[in-house]
Every structure is written in C-alpha cells, then in structure tokens.
Structure 1
Amino acid sequence: MIEGNAGAAAGAGTGGDPRLDALRAEVEKIIAEAQIGARRAQRRAKLWHAMYLSLGFPAAVLAGISGAAGLASAGARVPAAILALLSAGFSAGSTFLRSDARHMTNLRRRYAWQNLETRARLVLAYDAYEGPERLHTALLVLHELRTTVPSSALILSEQQGPYQLPTTGQTPPAVQPTTPPPGPGA
C-alpha cells in the first residue's frame, strides 16, 4: 500500500539528495506506524464492543425473564432467583470491565492514528518537493502530533475524573468531572 505511493514519491524529483531521501524514509516510517496503530485500535474497539454486547444484552434479557418467572407463580421463585443472580453477574462483569469506555477509547485512538497517517501522507505529497528544510520542519510537526496519540490508560483515567480522599472531620471536596479534549474528528 504505502510502498507504491511513497516509493513513487521518494523516487520522483529527489535529484539524489540523501538528506531528502532520509527524511522521506522517516515520514514513511510514521505512516507505517500509524497504519499499524489504527488497525490495532480498530481491532480492540471491535473486541470491547462485542464484550459490551455479550455481557449487557444477556443481563437485560435475564432480568426480564427472572421478573416474569418470579411473578408467574410461587413455585417459580427458585428459577427466577437463579436467573436474577445470572443477570446480576453479567451486569457486574460489564460494569467491572468497563467495556463501553474501552470501546470508545480505542475508537479515539484509531481516529488519532488515522489523522497522523493522513498528515504524514500530505507531507510526502507536498513538503517533500519543497526541499529538505521544509520536509524537516514538517517531520518535526509529525513527531509532535505522534506524541499526542493518546494511550488507553490516559483516556480511561480522564474518563474517571480526579478522586481525592476526604480527610477526617472534613466534608469531601466537590469533585469536578473533567472533560477530555475532543479527539480527532470530533
């Protein structure tokens, strides 16, 4: 994929300038890393979405069935209780894993990686032909953008917000929820 486009860009108009070729190779590495990162984030998002559905849907269905069974007759109390316990287990598992938050986290990461890849491709398409100085500057910007791709741990901690333990004899301070900055494409 990138070999055809980037290879054509690298071979066209270089004039044999090794600095320009080295800078283009760095941009191509960023493109490859961004593609891999986006694919991984997409796979993880799919996994967590499937986990969210596979735990949440049965919990809702079992809760409804257990309520109906419990109200149907006095003899159905034990099966209704078992179904209610299963429903509670699925619900607790879903809450514990926070698969909905992990799904959104990985979607944000995918969009960030895709944004980086797009920017890198634009650098190859334009800045590579403007000379090594311009390409070097654009590469520095790409590296800065690369450092802004969020990690899963950072996004999850942002979603939880700060928590402070109250000291003895004092009322706990009001916890202000933090809103994460809008991700790429938001």
Structure 2
Amino acid sequence: MQVIIITRLHAMYQQSRKILVFLVVIFLVVTGTCGVIAAIGSRYTIGQELILSGSHLCSYNYKGVSGLLDALAWVCYIVWEVLTLCLAIRIAIQHFRTLRRSSNHKRLLTVMIKTHVIYFASFVAVSCFQLGYLSPTIMYSNSVGSDVYAGILEFVSIGQMFILGPRLILSIRDFNAKLVTDSDAGIDLPSIVFQEGGRV
C-alpha cells in the first residue's frame, strides 16, 4: 500500500528525485520504528494453550505495556499518512494555481487527490477503531460487544487493505481508459472507397 502511495506522490511531483528520496527515507524510519516497537511488544506477550472440547488452541495474552506500544505504532503510521496527505494537497494547490497545465492534467490530479483523500479518511476511521480497541475495557472484556467491535475492526482493516488500496491504482486506470475512449469518439472520418477505375 505504501509503495503505491509513494509512487503516486512521486508522479504528482513530476518524478522529482528529492521527493522520492524524502518519502522513502521517512517511510523507512516509520517502518523501522514500528518494527522496533513490535519487537519490544512481543516481549510482553504471553502464549497460552487452551483446550476447548478436545481442540487445542493457541491464545495470546497481552500485558498492559503491549497495548500502549500498539497505540504508539499506530500513531507513527497516522503521522505518515498525515504527511502524505499534506504533500498531496500541497502539490494539488500548486497545480491548480498554475494555468499552464492542460485540462486533462488537472482532471488527473483531481482524480488522484480525490482517491487519496478517500483513502486517508478510511485510514483515519480504521485508526480510530484500532486505537479504541486498545482500550483495556474493550481489549480485556469477554462481552459480546467487544467481540462485535473486534469483528468490525477486522472487517474494516481488510477492506482498507484489499479494496481501497487497489482502488488507488484502478482510479488512474479508469481515468486513462476514459481519456482513450473520449479521444476515439472525437474522430469521425467518412469511409473512402478506393478503386482502380471500375464502378463502385
């Protein structure tokens, strides 16, 4: 997902090498930080074997510090997403201020910004669900409500990864397909019959 975001921003900034290096370095720092946080959090995770009706299941029990570390990792990813959204909005404002661009370029930039904002809004929603799930009253509860909450969180997380991520690519492909269709529709040449001197 993040490679798609970096590629889109690189394209929006007219393939600037500086912005590509900046985005890759920031992304590697965020990913490395989250990896270290996950490694530290795994020290506080306790595995248990549950036997239910003759079935052996693995269960993981988290101590209180692990929830705080998960929240810290999510905050790092939220900062990354806010940064990418700000960069996208910044370049969109710059492009809309200059009138030298073609209308197709502006429409493409509009499509890219719109899909990026939709993706960001969904990321904020999933992040709110994730941070809410880290609450001790929900995480350690055995109630039906907390199970429903965990199910909704898993559903929206999967939806974000497998629906909204590919949608970032498909929106650009759809825009390009419409451009090709519109350019083909504008050409209307009458058919010409070539002959060697015979009757038509």
Tell me if both proteins adopt one fold, taking TM over 0.5 as the criterion. Answer: no
TM-score relative to the length of structure 2:
0.42
Q: Higher relative contact order at CA 8 Å, sep ≥6: structure 1 or structure 2?
A: 1
| Structure that is richer in strand per residue | 2
Q: TM-score, normalised by structure 1?
A: 0.44
